[in-house]
């Protein structure tokens, strides 16, 4: 079932529009029924890459007990459930009562209730990756995998619980509407059924080639022990086969496959053939639980937890967002913090407004090779640009049509930084992050390692 059905705005934008008043929300959580106690298993390492794959990105959620998310890798998705159009009733917060690392290598999303009315008073958590670069290039395969434990609730005390591990297409962050840009639901369960539902959403809503808002799904698959222990959920997007495929796995077993020839070519390309960003959330109530007789009631417990042990992205062949490869290249790379290079998201296809990020350096990546023209830095026929023509610290960088404006000028400084004379600020890796997919920004020039960008 859909996790996001707004037809005009990406979910993250809707969430952030309501987040200002919610960021500091304090949650006084009282049990509706009995509180849930979840015994967390010992932390395990990120699974090894499958044969033929290499690890692109991962997080094992190492952090002190009670700490929030690593905001160089993740962002909070906050706001009232009514913003999503899915019917869920909780309010998503950034508080550490709802979203926290437990000190044992887990990220925990916890649903809490206060008051006596089961249909209101719920808070919970939702997070998404900062990077929106996880995908398969033509001829490649991407595998997105997470080890997690579903909330330890049952059909007797879990009515309304709706945990999920899922992805949205990167174009949603640029304003492309849902479901055209694609949604992949790797794991959903509802009402404590100890099940696994996997689905893709695509095309148009309602109806269309993907039967929206239902989508193309696996139906309910029994998931014995998934509420009391950790299990491995994965999806592979395979662009090396014809027709292309999306394959879903539970504990290493491929139980559901969708092929490109099940829909028209345009629908498939728009939904699948681009990078994605990863999302976890623990919703309460909504259309999906309600369809199975759910919705929180007096027996629904407060304190149920979605416990995430690890998440990883693996690629075989070229990886979307890694700069692609092939063909001759010209220009110079921009050496960046952490031994990375300045890269354009999307495999040498950077359009106007495409994100500029850090990525592993690749010798044949056209979108990692830049040329000087006056004070501009150009690749793929466009210029390195400050989004929105803003001088504010924290404004993101993008690739944009060259326009001769001051926000596309860059001068090399003696301390190794690149400064924009119009804003007076320097290119910066937020909080010193060096992970693949880190979106670059401008910040007050300070000469730190986070601002070392040298044209080779």
Rounded CA-CA distance 100/182 in Å is 29
Given a cut of 60, is residue 11 above it in pLDDT?
Answer: no
| Domain range annotation of the chain | 11-316, 321-455
Residue 85 binned pLDDT confidence (cut-offs 50, 70, 90): confident
- The string of pLDDT tens digits covering residues 170-209 is 888 878 889 999 999 999 999 999 999 999 999 999 999 9
Element (H, E) at 196: strand 195-201
| Nearest Cα residue to 178 out of 353, 3, 345 | 3
Helix, strand or coil, per DSSP, at residue 247 = strand
> How confident is residue 348, by pLDDT bands cut at 50, 70 and 90?
low
Closest to 306 measured CA to CA, from 111, 39, 27, 69: 111
State the Cα torsion 313-454-409-73 to the nearest 10°. Answer: 30
Stronger pLDDT, 410 or 371, i.e. the higher one? 410
Q: Which class is domain 321-455?
A: mainly beta
Distance of alpha carbon 89 from alpha carbon 120, whole angstroms: 7
pLDDT in tens, 35-57: 454 445 546 688 999 999 988 88
**26 has a pLDDT exceeding 50:** no
Residue 162 above 50 pLDDT?
Answer: yes
Number of Cβ within a 10 Å radius of residue 448 = 15
Distance of CA 37 to the CA centre of its chain: 28
**For residue 338, what pLDDT is reported?**
87
Would you state the pLDDT for residue 32? 43
Fold of 11-316: Jelly Rolls (2.60.120)
Question: Residue 17 is inside which H or E element, if any?
Answer: helix 11-17
Q: Would you say the C-alpha torsion 110, 115, 116, 118 has a positive or negative sign?
A: negative
Q: Is the pLDDT of residue 263 over 80?
A: yes
């Amino acid at each position: 079932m859909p996790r996001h059905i707004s037809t005009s705005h990406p979910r993250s934008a809707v969430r952030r529009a309501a987040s200002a008043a919610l960021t500091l929300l304090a949650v006084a959580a009282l049990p509706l029924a009995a509180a849930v106690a979840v015994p967390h298993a010992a932390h395990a390492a990120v699974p090894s890459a499958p044969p033929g794959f290499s690890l692109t990105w991962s997080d094992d959620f190492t952090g002190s007990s009670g700490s929030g998310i690593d905001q160089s890798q993740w962002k909070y998705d906050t706001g009232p459930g009514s913003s999503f159009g899915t019917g869920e009733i909780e309010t998503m917060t950034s508080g550490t009562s709802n979203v926290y690392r437990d000190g044992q290598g887990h990220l925990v999303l916890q649903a809490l209730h206060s008051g006596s009315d089961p249909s209101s008073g719920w808070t919970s958590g939702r997070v998404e990756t900062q990077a929106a670069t996880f995908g398969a290039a033509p001829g490649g395969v991407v595998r997105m995998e997470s080890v997690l434990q579903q909330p330890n609730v049952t059909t007797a005390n879990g009515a309304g619980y709706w945990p999920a591990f899922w992805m949205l297409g990167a174009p949603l962050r640029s304003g492309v509407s849902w479901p055209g840009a694609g949604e992949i639901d790797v794991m959903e369960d509802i009402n404590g059924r100890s099940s696994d539902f996997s689905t893709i959403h695509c095309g148009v809503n309602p109806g269309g080639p993907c039967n929206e808002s239902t989508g193309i799904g696996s139906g309910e698959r029994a998931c014995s022990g998934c509420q009391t222990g950790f299990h491995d959920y994965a999806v592979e997007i395979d662009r090396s086969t014809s027709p292309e495929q999306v394959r879903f796995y539970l504990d290493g077993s491929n139980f559901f496959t969708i092929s490109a020839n099940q829909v028209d070519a345009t629908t498939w390309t728009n939904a699948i053939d681009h990078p994605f960003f990863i999302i976890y959330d623990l919703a309460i109530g909504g259309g999906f639980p309600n369809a199975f007789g759910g919705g929180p009631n007096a027996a629904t417990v407060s304190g149920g937890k979605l416990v995430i042990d690890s998440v990883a992205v693996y690629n075989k062949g070229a990886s979307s967002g890694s700069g692609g490869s092939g063909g001759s290249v010209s220009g110079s790379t921009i050496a960046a913090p952490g031994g990375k290079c300045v890269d354009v998201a999307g495999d040498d296809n950077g359009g106007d407004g495409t994100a500029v990020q850090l990525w592993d350096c690749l010798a044949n990546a056209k979108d990692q090779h830049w040329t000087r023209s006056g004070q501009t830095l150009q690749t793929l026929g466009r210029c390195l640009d400050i989004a929105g023509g803003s001088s504010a610290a924290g404004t993101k960088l993008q690739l944009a049509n060259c326009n001769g404006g001051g926000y596309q000028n860059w001068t090399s400084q003696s301390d190794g930084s690149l400064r924009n004379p119009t804003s007076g600020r320097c290119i910066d890796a937020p909080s010193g992050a060096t992970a693949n997919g880190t979106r670059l920004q401008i910040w007050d020039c300070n000469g730190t390692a986070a601002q070392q960008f040298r044209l080779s």
